[in-house]
Structure 1
Amino acid sequence: MFSLNLGETSAAGFFITGTDTEIGKSFVACCIAQGLVKQGIAVSPRKPVASGCMLQADGSLLSEDALQLQAASQTSEPLARICPYRFEAAISPARAIAQSGQTININALYQACQVAADQFALVEGAGGFLSPLASDGLNADLALKLNYPLILVVGNRLGCLNHALLTIEAIEQRQLKLHAVILNDISPQADLDNFNDLQQLCRYPVIHQRYQTHPSPLVV
């Protein structure tokens, strides 16, 4: 179990972003959701757009990430509210949107991320911070519009230090608040020395998430 100090921010939500795809953003988001719920905080998760969704028997598409966020947040909000824009192709959301013949802009995703005033918004992007997300913008553009503090998830694998520092630089260039960096072990063989190296290389709190198969609460 590791912790974030929610008391240091008066924000109404977090934007969960990452250095790449398949590095554990949804896993970390679920851990944070569980931790907030444990503190009695009502959480509204949002995964506004998702690709690589599973086709269901009734013809609908299911985002497994959204399903996991729903469970971790213990919310009764329907999956269609948590993740309104879903695509089957396992490609970038922006390309999936284009291939579907639709136009879904950043403003539409921003509107999809709205939550009730008494809820803490936990918004998860798709892919890395500069990955294409909508017809007219990147994850970075949605993060800028929402203006929530960012949680940067770094997959602990070869090259992660470079990826982390490049992403931090992109976040700083947009003058967004980076609340914490989480180095997430994506395999049991992850290089543990990367944690100390990353702590020395960046000026933000760095948290080490050891490899595990099931999310456990973050105390925030």
Structure 2
Amino acid sequence: MAKPFQLFVTGTDTGVGKTQASCALLSLLADAGLEPQGFKPYESGCERLSAPADTLALRAAARSQWPVEQLCPHRFRAPLAPGIAARRLGREPRWDTTLAAWERLRHGSVIVEGAGGLFVPIDSQRDIIDLIAALRLPVLLVARAGLGTLNHTALSLRALAERNVKVSAVLLSRATPARDPSERDNRLWLEERHGLQVLGPVPFLKDPRRRHAAFRAALGPLVPHRVRGR
């Protein structure tokens, strides 16, 4: 029996396209008949705690009917790092709740999405990188395509290597309409310097459907036995 497809999607920063990348992967897995789930254990900036926007987007991309509570056990209204949002409420997100939610998912195909970058706190003792290490999943690192990404990506890759985390690929995503002249060099440099598969850059497209299609096209090589033409 084939091993389920599992990947942790993290980023060099917030707003780099992690949710869009996660949704693209989930839709590709769903096309392949793998019945995936999207797991976002910590989500901040929720206008309604019962309807966390990123988690609902992941669930829709996976064509899942799982309850929000199982896919996102820790939800906060404040648009802050989860650990800080929890502290403002005088709460401590329970680590065993996170692990119990993962236990229900870990036997199938899953895309796990982090919050912000690697050192965003999720409770008083742990950061996103601690969650990645605990789940023992390979990583897709999403990074901006333009100027500054070499430093941010190298620092993130070094931190992951120090924790013996496998990086499946780096995905470059354009965050603004203007094309940065450093994009081509950035991709080649990252490939040569770090010996990793670098995908993209995904273009900046205002239309959500075209943007989703562009992410799917860039991430297609990561997904085995995908259904073509959808």
Structure 2 match to 1:115: 104
Number of residue equivalences: 208
Query: Higher helix fraction: Structure 1 or Structure 2?
Result: 2
Is the counterpart of residue 195 in structure 1 residue 184 in structure 2? no
> Could you tell me how far apart the structure 2 residues matched to 1:110 and 1:169 are?
26
| Alignment CA distance shift 1:45-1:187 (3 Å) | same
| Alignment CA distance shift 1:80-1:44 (3 Å) | same
Q: How far 1:195 sits from its partner (Å)?
A: 2.1
Structure 2 match to 1:35: 28
Q: 1:215 aligns with which of 198, 212, 222?
A: 212
Q: Give the partner amino acid of 1:161.
A: L
Structure 2 match to 1:96: 85
The alignment's TM-score, normalised by the length of structure 2, stands at 0.83
- CA contact under 8 A between 2:174 and 2:202: conserved in structure 1? yes
- CA contact under 8 A between 1:15 and 1:149: conserved in structure 2? yes
**3-state SS, counterpart of residue 104 of structure 2:** coil
Q: How far 1:112 sits from its partner (Å)?
A: 2.3
Structure 1 match to 2:39: 46
Structure 1 match to 2:15: 22
> Could you tell me how far apart the structure 2 residues matched to 1:154 and 1:126 are?
14
Q: Which has the higher contact order (CA 8 A, sep 6+)?
A: 1
Q: How far 1:20 sits from its partner (Å)?
A: 0.6
> Could you tell me how far apart the structure 2 residues matched to 1:137 and 1:116 are?
21
Unmatched 5+ stretches in structure 1: 1-6
> Could you tell me how far apart the structure 2 residues matched to 1:115 and 1:182 are?
28
The alignment's TM-score, normalised by the length of structure 1, stands at 0.87
- CA contact under 8 A between 2:52 and 2:75: conserved in structure 1? yes
- CA contact under 8 A between 2:46 and 2:77: conserved in structure 1? yes
Unmatched 5+ stretches in structure 2: 224-230
Is the counterpart of residue 171 in structure 1 residue 163 in structure 2? no
Q: Give the partner amino acid of 1:121.
A: V
**3-state SS, counterpart of residue 113 of structure 1:** helix
Q: Deviations over 1:136-176 (max 9, x none)?
A: 20001010010011111112233111000000000000011
Higher mean C-alpha deviation, range 105-114 or range 72-81: 105-114
| Alignment CA distance shift 1:117-1:48 (3 Å) | closer
> Could you tell me how far apart the structure 1 residues matched to 2:103 and 2:212 are?
25
Q: How far 1:12 sits from its partner (Å)?
A: 4.8
| Alignment CA distance shift 1:142-1:117 (3 Å) | closer
> Could you tell me how far apart the structure 1 residues matched to 2:133 and 2:106 are?
20
Higher mean C-alpha deviation, range 42-51 or range 150-159: 150-159
Q: How far 1:67 sits from its partner (Å)?
A: 1.1
> Could you tell me how far apart the structure 2 residues matched to 1:160 and 1:17 are?
14
Q: Give the partner amino acid of 1:46.
A: F
Higher mean C-alpha deviation, range 75-84 or range 40-49: 75-84
Q: How far 1:83 sits from its partner (Å)?
A: 1.2
Q: Deviations over 1:106-127 (max 9, x none)?
A: 4432322233465212110101
Query: Higher strand fraction: Structure 1 or Structure 2?
Result: 1
> Could you tell me how far apart the structure 2 residues matched to 1:78 and 1:63 are?
12
